Structure 1
Amino acid sequence: MASPTVPFYGKDTDRLARLAIAYKALAESGPFLKDWPATVATPAMFKQRIDSYQSAFQDAIHFDRRAIALRIAASDEAGATWQRIVNYACATEQDNRDLLEGMGVSTKSRRTGLANASTELQSPDLSVANLDQKGAVRACCSRERRRYTFEVWVTESDPRIDEGWYHKASFGDCSKMDMHGFQSGKEYSFRCRIIGRDNAVGPWSHTITLMVT
């Protein structure tokens, strides 16, 4: 089963509400929690990252710059952990669609019946480079005239392991896909795919591994 993207968008209050729903469904999933892999953050770690995000959000209400930066980092970490757990649920042999729906993740096909939808979407010619700003990169692909969404996914572990990938950001303009919040001096792998008409999902680009400066 292909991994759907977690609905991690909107205001902080909306994101925190979705995370709370996702954690509750996960904590009550019973058999799914057995034999948890070491490569995926545990439900307890997921809860800890949600709590860190909640705390950082409260601290940032007064618009302190450092607190806002910590809130952004905590938000990214919580969302990435959620995505990794969803990836794991999709990679197991058992049918976890009910669990995913309970976690607020849609498992319905993103295609709506265009017979040639997938043939219209090509694998993006992704490139990634460091920016002058510490912990920031710019990804880009050839500009498309059509109105597509470009999803960039990232992993900090072995790119051959699907469970490690998480959705980093989505862009309407693929020529300057700037992303921040990476750890300087650490290697990350990147890949990209196009979301086209009627939410049809295109193939993945090649994978690029980069040491972020």
Structure 2
Amino acid sequence: MGKKVKVKCNFSRLDDPGLSSFGKGVVTSLTGNRFITEPYPEGVTQLGQVKATLEGFDNACLEARSRAKQSVALRKGLRVQFLKELHELADYVNIIAKGNIEILESSGFDYTKETSSQVKHQATYPDVALFQGVKRGGIVGKARKDPRARSCEFHSTTGDPSVEANWKHEAVFGQFKNMELDGLTPGQQYAFRMRWIMPEGPGPWTPPIFFMPT
């Protein structure tokens, strides 16, 4: 048998925008989650407080652009607090999931892959980074290629990403270094999700990735 799968706690290495985007995906995935229900036990920060910390962190990141010492210090402090709350949630998800992939996928966290030969070819979701495009209202996605992937599919929504009907198809890309989407509304917050199209069919979706094109 392979090692039991569990949540990866490598999100502390993300930069501030990446941490914010990752955190939004986790919060969205855990809101109303049928496996990981509130109230959480003592020692695990409740989701409402996690949301508040994330909002404070986002605001502090904007204020810190002035490079004022007080603003920078506030951003750093809220980042530390947000990471602490994410680690609490990650540990709790591991306790609830006990290696169950369906529960781990529902949490919004990345998780380790089982080493058993039975899941050797199990599809994973793409590791995609989003950037502003050259054109107004455009974005560029870059992904590390899965050697078995034939293409990468993009969906987007400006609504609640937890509602499946809100998602709409954007594009399918056959190359993964510069996946360009345009025609988006500048200044509008979008949620994006992506999946590999494998020889045996579509793989799982990524957690929602939030991005605002300019």
TM-score (norm 1): 0.46
